[in-house]
Amino acid sequence: MTNLKNKNLISITDYSKEDYLSVLDLAEKFEKNPNQPVLSDKVVGSLFFEPSTRTRLSFETAANRLGARVIGFSNPTATSLQKGESLHDTIMMVSSYVDIIVMRHPKDGASRYAAEVSPVPVINAGDGANQHPTQCMLDLYSIRKTQGTLENLQIAMVGDLKYGRTVHSLVQAMSNFKAEFHFVSPESLSMPENVKMYAKNAGLKYHEYRKLEDVIPFADIIYMTRIQKERFPDILEYEKVKDSYILDAVLLKGCKDNMKILHPLPRVNEIAMNVDKTNYAYYFQQAKNGMFVRQALITSILGYADKIK
């Protein structure tokens, strides 16, 4: 039996396969019974130094459904950061008020640093182009729910694989489950070498493509991503690749019956609206699953998993 009490979640590799499965099993209980107020004496710190809709609101809803209270900010310009306060001092202060910190930050490594400073556990809600481990957990949940297994799947990842922190985390996690990866991107946004090396070292095959059409016939999961304008150092480079892939309903002819399309969202135009009504679209349900998974993570890390029915 895995024990996640007081265990930070900064990179998806901080947790083992057994840890993932215990979180997914607990999330299933929350999906059946979401309102379980076992954390009425707890306070969650929600520190978002970068914009978010789903991650912040699903974490805060998760905390509310668990009976915890939430403090924090979604607009760092309204904090003492504006007066020059360091991340170190911000974390020192907030950790003296709360029982657990959820943090998103634009800089790679900021969450790891926060965890080193903080006496209370830290959950990384996305750090720069590095990691988004809670998104990864809900992606695993969504894959298992739609495919009935996490083993031996053909996973296509499409779009911004260079700056896309969600796909980096997902390759690392799925490497525990014998997946075969199909990376579709413009050359300038290819999957980073260190992530490919991770799959290779796990003994898994990966293939690289420039055309989305090439992976549609055999993929079990097509994981679309947004080309992230905000991560490009040069806007001209963004303009060259911004509309590289647009998945529409016509393109889906010939895909496998079990295939599901995931996307961490927000989308811009990489999935046409006519896909939303097809049986293959799963991205809105995927985002909903995030609430159950985040309930499972908060209760596990605070040591209350055994109280959940």
Question: Which spans of this chain sit near ligand CP (rule: CB under 6 A)?
Answer: 52-55, 126, 135, 264-266
Q: In what order do the strands lie in the sheet with 43-48?
A: 69-73, 43-48, 100-105, 122-127
Q: CA nearest 164: which of 245, 94, 99, 85?
A: 245
Using the 8-state DSSP alphabet, how is residue 302 labeled? T
Q: CA nearest 286: which of 260, 248, 247?
A: 260
- Closer CB to ligand CP, 105 or 180, in the complex: 105
Please confirm, yes or no, whether 54 is among the known catalytic residues: yes
Q: In angstroms, what is the minimal distance from the CB of 61 to ligand CP?
A: 13
Which residue in 105, 132, 162, 263 is the catalytic one?
A: 132
Radius of gyration of the chain (CA): 19
- Closer CB to ligand CP, 52 or 64, in the complex: 52
- Closer CB to ligand CP, 130 or 216, in the complex: 130
Q: In angstroms, what is the minimal distance from the CB of 227 to ligand CP?
A: 15
Q: In angstroms, what is the minimal distance from the CB of 55 to ligand CP?
A: 3
Please confirm, yes or no, whether 104 is among the known catalytic residues: yes
Which residue in 54, 145, 231, 267 is the catalytic one?
A: 54
Please report the DSSP string for 256-277 in residue order: -TT-EEE--S--SSSB-GGGTT
Q: CA nearest 296: which of 26, 29, 16?
A: 26
- Closer CB to ligand CP, 137 or 247, in the complex: 137
Q: In angstroms, what is the minimal distance from the CB of 54 to ligand CP?
A: 4
Which residue in 55, 90, 166, 225 is the catalytic one?
A: 55
Which residue in 32, 83, 277, 309 is the catalytic one?
A: 83
Q: How many CB atoms lie within 10 A of CB 254?
A: 9
Catalogue the active-site residues.
Answer: 54-55, 83, 104, 132
